Chains A and B, each alone.
Chain A
Amino acid sequence: MTGVWVNQIVQGILLGGLYAMFALGLSLSAGVMRFINIAHGDLIVLVCFLVLTLTTSLGLSPLVAAAITLPVVFAGGYLLQRLLLQRVLGQHVLPVILVTFGLSIIIQNALQGTYGADTRKVQGGVIEYATIHVAGEINVGVLPLVIFVSAILMVWLLDRLLYRTRIGARIRAVSDDVAAANLIGLPSPHIFALAMGFVGVTIAISAGFMSVWTNFDPTSGPSRLLIAFEAVVLGGLGSLWGTLIGGIILGVAQAVGGQFDAAWQVLAGHIVFLIIFALRPQGLFPRY
């Protein structure tokens, strides 16, 4: 019996890797550009459909399809920030929320118009079913394990990018004080757009994995946004490693809740979020 519970916790930790991936981009946009992108989940789903189209129409493997989306979504993120979001940043908190909310509606309707309302999934082949028997009743799926390791790698790389590179220093300076950064020669619209490009890369990677691991439909975005938002808040604003921990906490809470009753799975995650939020509203490892 203990083995079943341990197994659920292990599954929850691995699921947390995917949740952390969803949240990394949101953590960057909230921590660096100081806004919540309401369309974040819909952008993930949009890229899932892009991967689906590349695999079904061109017969590409999901890995190749996801790799193709990386530069495309980087450029898309850059242009989205430069041409749309930058215009409403800094005026007030409301305009950017309204604009990204509108973007969310547009993406959902465009996807429904193009692909219909059916649930979809990308076929990942043998990796979907491959498992590693660890001990007793504990089995680990290869795909969830790859996702979890990738999530850790992404956090490490983003952390290096922000704190060990010249572009990272630029992003942190603009994030700290836009006016002061402009005055020392940093063009804030370009720097913010680059940051949004990196957000796009995290979106592309998480969408590539999500499209193979779970089902999705045009209206899946808001639930992904909610999970990402909870992981960011739990981890603390601006803390990438905190976001990973936040994702893991949510994943474990859902897995353990689901063990009690399948109907409790999602609710358990929200309840744990609310309890931690009430006790520590600044998050577990806040940087700001």
Chain B
Amino acid sequence: MLNLHALSKSFGALNVLSNLDLSVPQGEVLGIIGPNGAGKTTLFNLIAGVQTPSSGEILFEGKDLSRTKVWDRCRLGIARTYQVPKPFTNMSVFENVLAAGLHGGGQKMRDAAERAEEVLETVELAHRKNTPAGDLSLLDLKRLELAKALGSNPRMLLLDEIAGGLTDAECDSLLQIIGGVRDRGTTIVWIEHVIHALRRLADRIAVLHGGNIIVSGSPDEVLQNAHVKQVYLGVEG
């Protein structure tokens, strides 16, 4: 579904990503871990179109996205959440999700409204649909961030540290929601530091370090890898 070939991104002399190759098949949940500064968020910015690569190509369902703007990538079926939620604070929860369906999903008003109701039920936020988004708690903001992404009915979801900052109970609640999204066949690429969350849902984990993927495999395989323990978990061999 998603293929990255020799993807590089530099900021001046700083090479954040260099010659990165990655393939994500349809329906997979791919976890991406790595130390701070490894280039994880930059990778998402390139896939979503927020930043342009210095070189390399991004293929989504076989289509080269080099010249595709961020809003058009959303319409193609790529949705992304931010680590720090970005709600439209002067709109209600329902309007936030409706906007995603109308514009990103290209749906008609009635369809977008139905979709918004459905998504808010899925993320357990329906009871707060008329609340101004600026009044939500962190967990509800994360739910809304997810709901906005799902509102456009994406085929691929990019989750950026969505479990960060949550209590165990809150994280558990969010994982059930994400599991439901996965079960409906949505491909998920998920940056996360909360390892137990990835261990529970990811089919595969890729470790990003120094601008490239150093290890990729099943969660158990990757988390037992000596090199990963050293560079990411800070544990010797």
| A interface residues (Cβ-Cβ under 8 A, vs B) | 166, 169-170, 172-173, 176-177, 179-188, 287
Contacts and interface: CB of A to CB of B under 8 A. Distances in A.
Given A182-B70, A183-B79, A177 B86 contact: yes
Given A179-B86, A185-B104, 20 more contacts: A169-B95, A170-B99, A172-B90, A173-B91, A173-B99, A179-B50, A181-B88, A182-B50, A182-B70, A182-B74, A183-B71, A184-B74, A184-B79, A184-B151, A185-B74, A185-B75, A185-B103, A185-B152, A187-B69, A188-B71
A282 B105 CA distance: 38
Contacts of A177: 86-88
A180 B86 contact: yes
A27 B77 CA distance: 36
B100 interface: yes
Given A182-B70, A184-B151, A170 B103 contact: yes
Interface residues of B, number: 29
B69 to A, nearest CB: 7
B236 to A, nearest CB: 40
A139 B40 CA distance: 70
User: Chain A: interface secondary structure?
Assistant: helix
Contacts of B109: 166
Given A169-B95, A170-B103, A185 B71 contact: yes
Contacts of B104: 183-186
Contacts of B79: 183-184
A172 B88 contact: yes
5 contacts: A173-B88, A182-B74, A183-B80, A185-B71, A185-B72
Q: Which 6 A-B pairs have the closest CB atoms?
A: A185-B104, A180-B86, A185-B103, A185-B74, A184-B100, A184-B104
Contacts of B100: 184-185
A185 B86 contact: no
Interface in B132-158: 148, 151-152
B188 interface: no
B89 interface: yes
A186 B102 CA distance: 10
Most B CB contacts (10 A, CB to CB) among A182, A183, A287 go to A183
A169 B92 CA distance: 11
Contacts of B72: 185
Nearest to A174: B88
B211 to A, nearest CB: 23
A166 B99 CA distance: 9
Contacts of A169: 91, 95, 99, 102
B48 interface: yes
A184 B99 contact: yes
B157 to A, nearest CB: 12
B106 interface: yes
A186 B91 contact: no
Contacts of A179: 50, 82, 86
B148 A184 contact: yes
A164 to B, nearest CB: 12
Nearest to A182: B70
Interface in B74-119: 74-75, 79-80, 82, 86-91, 95, 99-100, 102-106, 109
A223 B48 CA distance: 45
**Most A C-beta atoms less than 10 A away, residue of B86, B95, B106:** B86
A231 B102 CA distance: 35
B71 A180 contact: no
